[in-house]
Amino acid sequence: MGLTVRDVLVYALENLEKMGFKKFRNQLSEIEVNQNYRRIPRGKLEDKDWGDVADLIREYYKDVYGVEVTLQVLDKINEKKVADELQKDLLMVNRFVRLNQVVKSRCLAPEDRPMTLRLSDAGEVMCSVTLEALYPGYLHIEWKCGGEKSTEILSSQELYKENPDQTSFSVCSQVRISKDSLRYPESAVHVSWEHEYTNTRGQQTLSIIDQANASFIIRDIEGPPKLNHGEEATLYCTVDHCLKDLRVTRDIST
């Protein structure tokens, strides 16, 4: 796995001296940001380390604009050397393109296919979604599982592919979920994505419709090795509660 935007942000902040890092946090809470964004409150930045500050930058500004904000703050506090190193490191982040390097007329918003799922040999639910024809090929994707208020972000794997026309990319994002997490009707799997270059957001939710649409699978029946006529015997079998009918709802906004 190559470098991520978070990695290079943390490296840059680590390269600041103690007082330089303090100046960075102070200036970060005061910097003017673009419309539709808000500054990180000073209270959230107090006593935070490099990783915490990098996470706050990505939480408030995502990756592409977060890099621009970081470079602006480094310029304000006269940390040119650190800024130059950050820009060099960004060249090693796969498919990352800075805002001032992208031609807007070439940008393409992703086109999504419906979420799919299957059971793995290990009994996990494999959920995946494919997003096509996007450019640049850098996308922020998050998976969650549970109720509407679930906040835990699941670990996912993304496989990017450059399309034959060499002007766009496709990506398949996949996540593994324990089938126990989808046992109840209110359970749901949520995936959301953001393509910052086109200011496009999208999401899909996969949920169980109701308990009546669940089905049951009877496994092999087990009993004593020998059955005798006229004698009682105890037989055992396992009944698995499984997902029969799932609904995918789609909501895409730009």
Question: Could you tell me what percent of the chain has a pLDDT over 70?
Answer: 83
What are the structure tokens assigned to 177, written together? 């979920």
Domains of the chain and any CATH numbers? 5-101 (1.10.533.10), 106-210+246-253 (2.60.40.10)
Give the mean pLDDT of 111-126. Answer: 84
pLDDT score of 113 = 93
pLDDT score of 185 = 66
Which one has a higher pLDDT value, 123 or 191?
191
Whether residue 240 is predicted with pLDDT greater than 80 in this model: the reply is no
Q: Is the dihedral of CA 54, 57, 58, 59 positive or negative?
A: positive
At 52, which amino acid appears?
A: D
Residue 192 to residue 157: CA distance in whole angstroms: 14
pLDDT score of 151 = 67
Whether residue 225 is predicted with pLDDT greater than 80 in this model: the reply is no
Which one has a higher pLDDT value, 41 or 230?
41
Confidence of residue 253 (pLDDT cuts 50, 70, 90): very low
145 pairs with which residues across the strands?
189
The 10s digit of each residue's pLDDT in 50-104 is 999 999 999 999 999 999 999 999 999 999 999 999 999 999 999 999 998 998 8
What are the structure tokens assigned to 106, written together? 């070439």
Give the mean pLDDT of 197-223. Answer: 67
Cis peptide before 136 (omega within 30 of 0): yes
Predicted TM-score (pTM) of this structure: 0.72
Confidence of residue 147 (pLDDT cuts 50, 70, 90): low
Nearest to 117 by CA among 106, 128, 107: 128
Whether residue 208 is predicted with pLDDT greater than 60 in this model: the reply is no
Whether residue 247 is predicted with pLDDT greater than 60 in this model: the reply is no
